[in-house]
Each structure stands twice: as structure tokens, then as C-alpha cells.
Structure 1
Amino acid sequence: MILIDPPAWPAWDRVWSHLVSDESYEELHAFAKAAGIPARGFDRDHYDVPSDQYDSLIAAGATPVSSRELVHRLTKAGLRHRKGT
């Protein structure tokens, strides 16, 4: 399942969400490609997406969850990669 957390991460004069899959990186990359998200947005285990794409990604099938739930599901799936690992 593709998950997205609320835009809450400020950087580069924007606010960002995280887009992940709790199934596989293949699912995540395929969804991102279909949604027009550039590969450069991928960071270890998620895509960083700006707040102006949040609603369209939900309309495309991403499930909104809290940031805490997103990390929990990513970790439970064995797909969480922290910095330095």
C-alpha cells in the first residue's frame, strides 16, 4: 500500500510530505513514476513530495496516515532505512 503523511517538513521554502510503500520499493517507484515524481525525490526509503502535490497523490491512490503511522508501517515491513545504515 502507498502511504503519505501530512505536509509538515519545512525545507527550501516549501513544506514536504513523505511518500512510502509498506509492500516494496518496486511498488513505491512505480507509483512515483506514474505520478510524475522525479527520481531525485527518493531518499533512502521514501520520496519527499511538496505539499502542493498532497491532494493529487491521495486522488491517485496514496493513503493518508500520520507521520507516526507511516514510520511504524515502514519499519514493520522491513523497509525503513535510517541515515547511516
Structure 2
Amino acid sequence: MTVYVDNAVTLWRGRRWAHLMADTLDELHAMAQALGMPRRAFQDKTSGAHYDVDAEMRERAIVLGVVAISRHADRELVHRVIARAKAQGRGEAP
């Protein structure tokens, strides 16, 4: 199983943000905890189970073994990861 971080560079409040997603919620929460993120930062909307991470935290996640994915170069993989995150956000098992 794997934890992923996309290269979404959404500008918000003066910083760039990406999405931390995973094959399972357990993996996602464990990585978020390793990054020092509080559980209240978890977003389990139907848009997809994820944590928002800024550019600095994204780099720390990659150092910890998170797989960086590109919305442009890895489209098929990104679509699978997002579909899984959406299912998890709806409470469906991966």
C-alpha cells in the first residue's frame, strides 16, 4: 500500500498546497501523524479523503517515503488515487 502527494499547487493564503492521499485511511492517518498534522486537518468530503499539505510539508512527506504524483504525467495513477480517496470519503472500503 502507498501514500501519495500530488503536485497540485493551489495558491491559498499566500502558500502553495497539495493533497496527501493514500491507498488506505490507516496509512493516510499514520503519515499525517508522522508529519505532525492534527487529525482535525483530515478532510473526508465526498471530493476525496485527504489532508492538505503546504509545499514545505510536501517535501518532508517525500523524504519520509510518500510517492510524489503528477496530475499531468501520471494521469491514470492520479485518477485511481482520487477515485479511491472519493470512495473513502463516502465511507466505502478501498
Equivalent residue for 1:29?
29
The CA RMSD over aligned residues, in Å, is: 2.0
Distance 2:34 2:28 in 1: 10
* Structure 2 gap ranges (5+): none
Taking structure 1 as the reference length, what is the TM-score of the superposition? 0.78
- Cα shift at 1:74: 3.2
Q: Please name the residue that 2:80 is paired with.
A: 72
Match of 1:13 in 2: 14
The percentage of aligned residue pairs carrying the same residue is 30
For 1:43, the equivalent position in structure 2 comes to 43
Contact 1:32 1:38 in 2 (8 A): yes
Question: How many residue pairs are counted as aligned between the two chains?
Answer: 80
5+ residue gaps, structure 1: none
